[in-house]
Structure 1
Amino acid sequence: MFCLQVDMGMVRGVPGDPSLPRPSISLSPTGADVTIRCQGQRRDIRFFLHKAGDLNLLRHVDPAGDGAEFRIPTVGRQHGGNYSCSYRNRSEPFVSSELSDPVQVVVVEPSLPRPSISLSPTGVTAPGADVTIRCQGQHWDVTFFLHKAGDSNPQRHMDPAGAGAEFHIPTVGRQHGGNYSCSYQNRSEPFVFSEPSDPVELVVAEPSLPKPIISPSGEVSLGGDVSIRCRGQGQGVRIVLNKGGRHVAHVDSEKSEFEFPIKNVRREQGGNYSCSHHSRSEPFVRWSDSVELVVRG
């Protein structure tokens, strides 16, 4: 993608010389500040920074070497957009290089309400199942983006008819496990994003993992205390207690087992329990067999 390139390589009326090596451009955010670095292959040149849609060159600098840094000290909504750079030899001030590839400055706006996110179905997901991730906002006429932790590019985006969007994963596999969040942008401000939602974790069951062990089953008196012990394989895992297929509690443990205490037992806490475990770095799990807790009285 190219930007601010006018009529056969002309940049604001200055010929773009295709024999000049095109510069490169990169972004380096630091807190609320952004540095845009332009890099060439020649010395004694002057760099120019361009913003798409703005016919005026934003800044220029005479570097001592073959690169230049342009700082935006406090980024605001007005700074969002596509940037590129060019250079001119000082001995030929009216001959410009062609533009670099663009980089995009996207501004996260704290004043926009954060969206919410939910998974359906909840809990641990069996391989091959269909999953829907729903993002919900408070504004209309917005575009939603779904992000997966560790992936710098939004996986999908869509233009919903209302203030929410649904993203479907039709056949879940190991590669889909992870933490997801969503954000949105107003279509009138394509470089201004909301802050991301809280994350949701998609955990995929993995039949090849060793099955954890759960105990005990039996009876407990109404108002009494009981502990459910889950034992997995390996250390440094997340152990999850499930009731009827739904997440009840979890713990990150350096040990291979953990006891989940249930104090002052209520009638609704009776039922079938199971546990699962997975590495904290890999959200793939294996369920234990289930045990039944019967509440007397």
Structure 2
Amino acid sequence: MAKFLIPFTESSHAGHYLCLYHKPPSWSEESDTLELVVTVLQTGLYQAKFSLRNVTFVYGGTYKCYSSEDLFPYVLSQPSNPVELVVSEFSANLDSSPQELIPASVGKYDGGKYYCYYETTLGWSAHSDELELVVTGIFDNKPCLSVLPRPVVTSGENVTLKCFSQEEYDRFIVTKEGEQTDPMIMESQKTSAGQFQALFSLGPVTPRSSGTFKCYGYYKANPYVWSEPSDHLEIQVSASENQDHTVENLIRLGIAGLVLIILGVLLLEAWQARNGPTVRLGSNQKRKKNVVQGPRV
């Protein structure tokens, strides 16, 4: 083994190093490459921003940064002061299975998309499916919800929900209790009266459209933070008269067809009993003999 000492390190020493040895009559193979980075003191007001999206607890730790020039990529500046990033929004309940992540408190900055990992001896798992967390009740000015033409309608009518507010929300959202589908979202429009509203068309409704609705308002800058919900609005959809008559007519036609079948069977049995079975009888016919008589004497 041989040691090569660099007494005083300068920026010119930065780069890749490798070694080999000579054994007559040839040289050995090259060693693995060693990268030497030299840090130097630099001054200036240049900056760069590094964004960490969807931060989880795996991003926690101590960070520091360096700078370099294009001509000398292995010559780095002195490190910055260290910055410690602590991610501790949730506490794990280790006594439960599966693990429960319980937020200490929920605020307007907690809305967003979440996913989780788990750690094994082989490393970290792939992240789970995303979970969207929406925080409501942050804005005091709750919107109002109304229905056109009326809350009680018959099947087939066109129904429109109107969500409106004096607050200049960017968008309005309508949800239906008990529904797992995505909520209805519409852009806010300013009216001549100075209100902000959105119209949600339910189209021709059916009895399945009945339910309890409410609406929220939110700003585009933070779509996971909603206002207070509006008062609940209940819509009732009854079957139309045409549908009732159609069912009644089908029942009547079925009963009439059954009566006709029964009458046909009874008439056939009566006809057969009256005429009785048809039997052909043969008659015995005597054959007459032809007798030839001679002249009398």
**TM-score (normalizing by structure 2):** 0.47
Q: Which has the higher contact order (CA 8 A, sep 6+)?
A: 1
Whichever of the two has the greater Rg, that structure is 2
**Higher share of residues assigned strand:** 1
**TM-score (normalizing by structure 1):** 0.47
